[in-house]
Amino acid sequence: MGMKGRQILLDHVQGREAAALMVDGQLHDLLIDGDAPRPGTIYRAVTDRPVKGQGGVFLKTPDGAAYLRGVKGIDQGEMLHVQVTGYAEPGKAIPVTHKLLFKSRYAIVTPDAPGLNLSRSIRDDDVRDGLMLLAHEGMEGCEMGLILRSASAEADPDEVAEDIAAMRQLAEDVTADLVETPAVLVAGDGPHILAWRDWVASADVVTEVGCFENHGVMEAIDAAQDPRVPLGEGSSMYVEATRALIAVDVNTGADGSFSAGLKANIACARALPVALRVRGLGGQITVDLAPMPKKERRAFEASLRAALRGDDVDTVMAGWTPLGHYELQRKRARLPLTEVLE
């Protein structure tokens, strides 16, 4: 594929709604709808039983048990509004939070966090002033908070105002709801809406049926079902999910030179976020790096930090283990590709 630039492709895979982001002909991100409750889903849920010693509580939702951590003083049988934060590990309860976010392309309304805020990446004072005015007008007489996302800087002000109004209305409708039975109040966004909401850099959008096949996406999905990721110059990494963690193994291949290990490790750092995104992998990640001098560790960390900056899945760089492995903790924001596709 000699495609240059960014393409957003909206299609279906095995009957499931899917969105792919291709950058210069390479699969950069992939969203495929699964059977699990989507992140962003809001439930009216009833508390079931507290978990002793863990500061959490199980809840009953229409989709099964959910787990809310870090809460105190909630009695059994209380009704709460909670939002799905990610995907559950196999056999575990759905992870939820009681801090709701109503999130669209330009606006995020935050019922629990008052105040009007702009994305820190918007630096132009005139743009900031214009957006603050829209924020004040859109949220007048409302106690809830608002965050305007970075995409609002380049957007048509009318579209930003519409987005604010829609999210405020949804937030007010949900928080005013006082019925006493568990229910789904808001369905989480599917891949096509998520692509519109979060992949905001300019791109060609392709929506015809079969576009995945015609633009190399299916080929890239097939490749992503293989644990091996080529890193160039004969080096590679293997990305494999075990029950406990995601294991990443870096190999230098035939290159036996002194700098081969560092080169392969830097290539791993740059390629890892994309490899994890398209495979839908999160949780604990352990990287078994190629041999390199200890003094090169900072170069590896700097490369990884830079690569994660362009990645929208929350990832904590946990650091080095006594055996010299590097560990990360990554939010389960996607379903594993192997689970979604049979």
Confidence at residue 90, expressed as pLDDT on a 0 to 100 scale: 82
* In a domain? residue 145: yes
Coil, strand, or helix at residue 58? strand
Q: Is 289 part of any domain?
A: yes
Same domain? 333 vs 233: yes
The reply to whether 83 and 115 lie within a common domain is no
Instruction: State the pLDDT at residue 1.
Output: 44
Q: What is the pTM of this model?
A: 0.90
The answer, yes or no, to whether residue 306 has pLDDT greater than 90, is yes
- pLDDT for 165 equals 96
- What is the CATH number for 170? 3.30.230.10
**Structural tokens at position 211:** 């576009």
Q: Is the pLDDT of residue 342 over 90?
A: no
Whether residue 280 has pLDDT greater than 60 = yes
Q: Are residues 248 and 321 in the same domain?
A: yes
167 and 201 fall within a common domain: no
pLDDT at residue 118, rounded to an integer: 93
Q: What's the confidence (pLDDT) of residue 213?
A: 94
What's the CATH number where 283 sits? 3.40.630
Kindly report the backbone phi and psi dihedral angles of residue 99, in degrees, each rounded to the nearest multiple of 5, phi listed first.
-90, 95
Contacts of 308 (CB under 8 A, 6+ apart): 273, 315, 317
Say what percent of the chain tops pLDDT 90: 81
Query: Are both 134 and 213 inside the same structural domain?
Result: no
Q: Average pLDDT in the 74-102 region?
A: 91
In a domain, 183, yes or no: no
Listing DSSP states for 72-99 in one string gives -S--TT-EEEEEE-SPPPTTSPEEEESS
Domain check: are 169 and 204 in the same one? no
193: confidence class by pLDDT, cuts 50, 70, 90: very high
Same domain? 203 vs 300: no
Between strands 6-13 and 204-206, the pairing is parallel
Q: Summarize pLDDT for 43-73 with one digit per residue, the tens.
A: 999 998 777 767 789 999 999 999 998 777 7
Whichever domain contains 56, its CATH number is 2.40.50.140
For residue 70, what pLDDT is reported?
79
Domain for residue 60, yes or no?
yes
Q: Are 251 and 264 in contact (CB under 8 A)?
A: yes
CA dihedral 61, 332, 308, 26 (to 10 degrees): -110
The whole domain housing 289 covers 225-340
Q: What is the pLDDT of residue 248?
A: 98
State the average pLDDT for the chain: 92
pLDDT tens column, 156-166: 999 999 999 99
The answer to whether residue 87 sits within a structural domain is: yes
The percentage of the chain sitting over the pLDDT mark of 70, rounded to a whole number, equals: 99
Q: Considering its fold, how many domains does the chain have in total? A: 4
- 314 pLDDT more than 60: yes
